[in-house]
Amino acid sequence: MNTATIPLVRVEGLKMYFPVSASIMRQAKNFIHAVDDVSFDIPAGSSLALVGESGCGKTTTGKLLTHLFSPTAGHIYLRDGETLVDLVTLKRKDLRRFRRRVQMIFQDPYESLNPRLTIFDTVAEPLMVQNVGSLQEREERVAALLEKVGLTPASSFLFRYPHELSGGQRQRVAIARALVIEPSFIVADEPTSMLDVSIRTGVMKLMMELAQDMGISYLYITHDLAVARYTSQEIAVMYMGKVVEHGETESILSNPLHPYTQALISAVPIPDPAIHRTPPTIKGGISQPIDPLPRCRFYDRCPRQSTACEKEHTTVQVDGRKVMCWLYN
Amino acid sequence: MLEQPLLSIRNFTLEYKTRKGYVSAVNDVSFDLLPGQAMGLVGESGCGKTTIAMALLRLSPDNAVVRQGQICLDGQDLLTMSEQQMRDVRWARISMVFQAAMNALDPVYRVGDQIIEALNRHKNDLSLEQKRQWVAELFKLVGIDTKMIARYPHEFSGGMRQRAVIAMALACSPSLIIADEPTTALDVIVQDQILRELTRIQKSLNMSMIYISHDIAVIAEVAEIIGVMYAGCLVEKAATRTIFQSPRHRYTKALLSAFPSIAGPRTELVSLPGDPPDLLMPPAGCRFHPRCAHAIDRCCKEKPPFEQVGDAHWAACWNPC
């Protein structure tokens, strides 16, 4: 493998099926295909936005990447030197070493911080769990990091509790906590959607600056295409457990290929009354992918469906972009 | 030609009594709304927009204290009405679509019956058959299959429930609808459908609408005029195009620069430092001055008046753009 092209993260054939109404007495007969054969690469120092509406599988994918639970099938590779290590097949004792390298930032700044720990305890916790540094070193590292995320002067924040901070400040603490262990990869699940707009921008910019300074890669999960535009070099669009389109951000936004991506983009309101957008023409809403038929997931709603769409579909490459649509075969 | 406003708010000031003191939630807000006009009220959390909406319907919580002001609907001051008189106003003259209103539907009653409940109160001169027909018309108006009239809320999807709530808000043909973040809990494609539906209905029935949101993109598409609120104060009001093309208040400008868009060139986003003020002890003078990069001496001492700065354009700023 050429060193320059080894990605930091590689997801291959990832599947997560949840049983529907299983119980002790009854075997599960139906499954929700929450994540269904998802594959993508994230290069080092780059951000991939995972975009989609509710139930598309983006949050489940994020949780799988941080190994909060194990996938039904598939591989999650993390670069280790010159090779890729499959986190899914690692034994528990080896996994510990890799947990340091992947961290998560959650959506709700009011729920993700332990209300009984001081800011110092919260940010230092990963260091304690992974047994890094002496107490003195930890204090210095935490203070330096708080300054870095814009909580200055750090000394006034160290011994406060989460309830004393605003939503934006709490999210900055969550970012500091994710960074303290110096990870290579962060999964951020809607980190700014619960913040006010003027605060949101500051937090987004902070995350991008840190990514550049510290060479961290992101999987940025969001339903908001405008946020995806500002934070990520690449976008992967998910629909009912599948990645339907994946490519460079600006290129997808200006020229979406998959009919679902086209509908999604044309539905986003524009904060400029001078611009008139053509609204999407698709009907209906999203349904849950319970035991879906082996054909295009978007079939029922697609304005360009044909008999070709009734077959099991594959991903095609079109000008450096990946699309899962028979129109481009 | 000067048209009589449908709604006229003058010097409205409201505080919430709490254990720590009085929270100055709305401070000296005045604006007019013409019949058939759609106004967007935009601002971030704590700016007072929902407080005003609830006050319009006299649904403010018990600890709310109105310090001064009038809220006149067709010339009648709602603040001085008795509760009995207000009951005739709610639903019939002003109705509201709340945030995540889909959760406001009673789960144990059929959706159609919940609308009939409102009609029983306000349009009881109609026969039951006429009411049922009207409910069918409303469902068609908001785009729900009429067979759903006899179904329960849990059988509706999120988007359909929101449409049902809009149908309920329209049932008694009010002259003003207040929509408070009606699409926040919905996915973007459903949001687009609901927004277009709402605008179409508002225009065809010539209703006035106050659309409350923190999302200026949605407001840009739905509203003809926009009122920008910050920390309880109305800081700017103008036609939508004017607000976007020539904002005068520094906060409006900052808000617009902080908003990412998927259209046009990828411009640099500008973030606002700090946080909105604590309304228990709001800053002296202009409430925005601690975060304003262009604050002058006067901003810290005197509260700027909300005055005309252009054609149908008002702002409260000592050092406008």
Q: What digits encode the pLDDT tens for the residues B282-295?
A: 999 999 999 999 99
Q: Which of B44, B262, B271 is facing A265, going by the closest CB pair?
A: B262
Q: Tell me what pLDDT residue B274 has.
A: 84
Beta-carbon pairs below 8 A across chains A and B = 119
CA distance A68 to A22: 21
DSSP B90: B
What pLDDT digit, counting tens, does each position of A86-97 carry?
988 888 788 888
Structure tokens at A315: 């991903």
Q: Tell me what pLDDT residue B197 has.
A: 86
CA distance A276 to A220: 28
Q: Tell me what pLDDT residue B102 has.
A: 65
Higher-pLDDT residue of B75, A130: B75
Question: How does the average pLDDT of chain A come out, rounded?
Answer: 88
- Closest residue, chain A, to B260 (C-alpha): A226
Residue numbers of the domain that contains A49 = 3-101+183-268+280-328
Question: Do residue A272 and residue B191 have CB atoms under 8 angstroms apart?
Answer: no
Q: Tell me what pLDDT residue B228 has.
A: 97
**DSSP E strand boundaries for B74-159:** 76-77, 94-97
- Closest residue, chain B, to A203 (C-alpha): B271
Q: Is the pLDDT of residue B252 over 90?
A: yes
- Interface check for A43 against chain B (CB to CB < 8 A): the answer is no
Percent of chain A residues past pLDDT 90, beyond the cut: 48
Q: Tell me what pLDDT residue B273 has.
A: 85
Chain B residues in contact with A230 (beta carbon < 8 A): 260, 266, 269
Q: Is the pLDDT of residue A3 over 60?
A: no
- Interface check for A54 against chain B (CB to CB < 8 A): the answer is yes
Chain B contact residues (CB < 8 Å to A): 44-45, 157-159, 187-192, 195-196, 214-218, 220-221, 240-241, 244-245, 254-256, 258-264, 266, 269-273, 275-276
Q: Tell me what pLDDT residue A13 has.
A: 94
- Closest residue, chain A, to B251 (C-alpha): A198
Report yes or no on A116 lying in a domain.
no
Structure tokens at B151: 């179904």
Reported ipTM: the value is 0.86
Q: Tell me what pLDDT residue A109 has.
A: 82
Report yes or no on A60 lying in a domain.
yes
Instruction: For residues B7-13, give the mean pLDDT.
Output: 96
Coil vs helix vs strand at A303: coil
b or e along A145-164 (b: 16 or more beta carbons within 10 Å of the residue's beta carbon)?
bbebbbbeebeebbeeebee
Number of domain units in chain A = 1
Instruction: For residues B9-22, give the mean pLDDT.
Output: 95
Chain B interface disruption, residue of A59, A165, A198, A233, most B CBs within 10 A: A198
Q: Tell me what pLDDT residue A296 has.
A: 87
Question: How far off is chain B from A308, nearest CA to CA, in Å?
Answer: 25
Query: 247-286 in A: which are within 8 Å (CB) of B?
Result: 250, 253, 263-265, 267-275, 277, 279-280, 282, 285-286
What pLDDT digit, counting tens, does each position of B138-195 carry?
998 888 889 999 999 988 887 888 889 999 999 988 999 999 988 877 888 888 888 8
Distances (CA, A) of A68 to A71, A87, B302: 10, 12, 54
Chain A residues in contact with B214 (beta carbon < 8 A): 196-197
Q: Is the pLDDT of residue B1 over 80?
A: no
pLDDT band at residue A316 using 50, 70 and 90 as cut-offs: confident
Higher-pLDDT residue of B109, A28: B109
Question: How does the average pLDDT of chain B come out, rounded?
Answer: 91
Are the beta carbons of A121 and A139 closer than 8 angstroms? no
Q: Tell me what pLDDT residue A15 has.
A: 95
Are the beta carbons of A15 and A72 closer than 8 angstroms? yes
CATH code of residue A74: 3.40.50.300
pLDDT band at residue A26 using 50, 70 and 90 as cut-offs: low
Chain B residues in contact with A269 (beta carbon < 8 A): 191-192, 195, 215, 217-218, 220-221
CA distance B42 to B236: 10
User: Measured in whole angstroms, how far is the alpha carbon of residue A102 from the centre of its chain?
Assistant: 12
- Give the lowest-confidence range in A84-93, A262-271, A281-290: A281-290
pLDDT band at residue A24 using 50, 70 and 90 as cut-offs: low
Q: Would you list the domain boundaries of chain B?
A: 7-107+175-315
Prediction pTM value: 0.88
Distinct helix (H) and strand (E) counts, chain A: 10, 12
Q: Tell me what pLDDT residue A305 has.
A: 82
Q: Tell me what pLDDT residue A2 has.
A: 56
b or e along B198-224 (b: 16 or more beta carbons within 10 Å of the residue's beta carbon)?
bbebbeeeebbbbbbbbbbbbbbbbbe
Q: Tell me what pLDDT residue A159 has.
A: 92
pLDDT band at residue A197 using 50, 70 and 90 as cut-offs: confident
Chain B interface disruption, residue of A272, A281, A287, most B CBs within 10 A: A272
- Closest residue, chain B, to A152 (C-alpha): B274
Question: Do residue A223 and residue B188 have CB atoms under 8 angstroms apart?
Answer: yes
Question: How far off is chain A from B195, nearest CA to CA, in Å?
Answer: 10
Chain A residues in contact with B190 (beta carbon < 8 A): 285
What pLDDT digit, counting tens, does each position of A249-261 carry?
999 999 999 999 9
DSSP-derived secondary structure for B58-72: T---TTEEEEEEEEE
Would you state the torsion angle of the CA atoms of residues B221, B226, B230, B236, taken in this order, to the nearest 10 degrees? 140
Q: Tell me what pLDDT residue A312 has.
A: 76
Percent of chain A residues past pLDDT 70, beyond the cut: 97
Question: Do residue B256 and residue A264 have CB atoms under 8 angstroms apart?
Answer: no
Higher-pLDDT residue of B223, A5: B223
Report yes or no on A13 lying in a domain.
yes
Question: How far off is chain A from B230, nearest CA to CA, in Å?
Answer: 12
DSSP B290: G
- Interface check for A325 against chain B (CB to CB < 8 A): the answer is no
Class of domain B7-107+175-315: alpha beta
- Interface check for A160 against chain B (CB to CB < 8 A): the answer is no
Q: Tell me what pLDDT residue B242 has.
A: 96
- Give the lowest-confidence range in A172-176, B53-57, B127-131, B264-268: B264-268
CA distance B105 to B152: 9
What pLDDT digit, counting tens, does each position of A59-109 carry?
999 999 988 778 999 999 999 888 999 988 888 788 888 888 999 998 888
